[in-house]
Amino acid sequence: MTTGVWLVGGRGSVAVTSLIGALAMRAGLAGPTGCVTELPEFAGAALPALTDLVFGGHDVASVPLVKKAESLADAGIVPASLVRALDEELALAEHELRPVPSEGGQAEAAAQMAADLTAFRERHGLRRVVVVNVATTEPVVTPNPAHADLDALEAELSGGGAVLPPSSLAAYAAFQAGCSFVDFTPSTGARLPALDQLALQRAVPYAGHDGKTGETLVKSVLAPMFAMRNLRVRTWSGTNLLGGGDGANLAEPGPNAAKTASKQKVLQETLGYLPQGTTRIDYLEDLGDFKTAWDLVMFEGFLGRSMRMEFTWHGCDSALAAPLVLDLARLTSAAHEAGYSGALTELAFFFKDPLGAVPHGLADQWRMLCDFADGLRDAPGNAGEPK
């Protein structure tokens, strides 16, 4: 079951790390560490094999894939030996990348992107294509009445309006082309009522949003711990220092607000109240793709006794995100195959700000994900072999 993975932001760090990893695993040069869907719980769940994924993508940038891969190796994100060994495969993958259409209005751009997707599917004889947004985080979007209703949106677009942020335009094009969609960033993407209507109309599923890769992942197990022990968290204060393109962008007030709001939800949802404290994001160019987060948690125990814990997280963002991109592509594609459409709330495990009224504690999300995999395994069409 060869499956297409179309990466919006296909020349970015996360995309290229995903691509290198998939190519390396296909060549037997690397193991699946970090890939959730390679755990025993997902065996037989009718997922496309990691080695059956074919990659393409859009990007506004034009840095060659091989160059980008080398810069990832220089930065210590991927092994230099892998990049050298995959030289040819990367050069081939280059042919599947397309520029983001920049001429004409949003309607024309969407049509062009949908055409790119259709051509990709036909060129490779793919059964399914899943579009994954890993482009740079956008500022919080300005509300517009056309977001609330598909007819209004279509009218607006056909009238030459430019009412969608780029991530939502990508989702619109994906749905028009019959592709499923994954929002890996905090950008708006498919999260507009008009786009939800379109997904349901085209019977395609979408997942999101904002991949949970570091500080929030830790919060999603620590906050339930405090809740299960009936300990009252009074303060939870986090500082995130990050570099790289994403860091520079997130230091801008707009995207920063989007991201920090997304990062606080887990506390309200798992504790049932919001402790004091904020989540800061600071840009430090020198950190590159690495991120250091420090969190201070002050809590109250028996008879009011105050206690505290702190943690520091030193992660490599692209290395944490890339295997999840592969997981989400496999799961969303399988869901599409199994007939799911609209919001895939079952994939909350992967996201900081998951779709739907779902639990935010990691253990509950894990159970939900395993149940979802069980459902795929038991689906009528799953004969344990390519359909």
Q: Which residue has the tokens 């990466």?
A: 7
151/310 with CB nearer a copy of itself: 310
3-state secondary structure of 377: helix
User: Least separation, in Å, of the C-beta of 313 and a copy of itself?
Assistant: 5
The pairing of beta strand 342-343 with beta strand 306-316? unpaired
For residue 375, give every residue at least 6 positions away whose Cβ sits within 8 Å of its Cβ, in sequence order, or none: 338
169/320 with CB nearer a copy of itself: 320
The Cα–Cα gap between 26 and 88 comes to 14
User: Least separation, in Å, of the C-beta of 268 and a copy of itself?
Assistant: 17
Instruction: Measure CA of the first residue to CA of the last residue in the chain; give whole Å.
Output: 7
How buried is residue 280: exposed, middle or buried, by Cβ count under 10 Å (0-12/13-18/19+)? middle
CA 262 to centroid of chain Cα atoms: 13
User: Least separation, in Å, of the C-beta of 364 and a copy of itself?
Assistant: 8
What's the sign of the alpha-carbon dihedral 133, 138, 140, 146?
A: negative
The Cα–Cα gap between 88 and 227 comes to 51
Which among 210, 166, 171, 203 is positioned nearest to 190, based on CA atoms? 171
Other beta carbons less than 10 A from residue 345's beta carbon: 15
Total residue count of the chain as it appears in this document: 387
The Cα–Cα gap between 194 and 182 comes to 16
280/377 with CB nearer a copy of itself: 280
User: Least separation, in Å, of the C-beta of 236 and a copy of itself?
Assistant: 10
User: Least separation, in Å, of the C-beta of 55 and a copy of itself?
Assistant: 16
Q: Which residue type sits at 216?
A: T
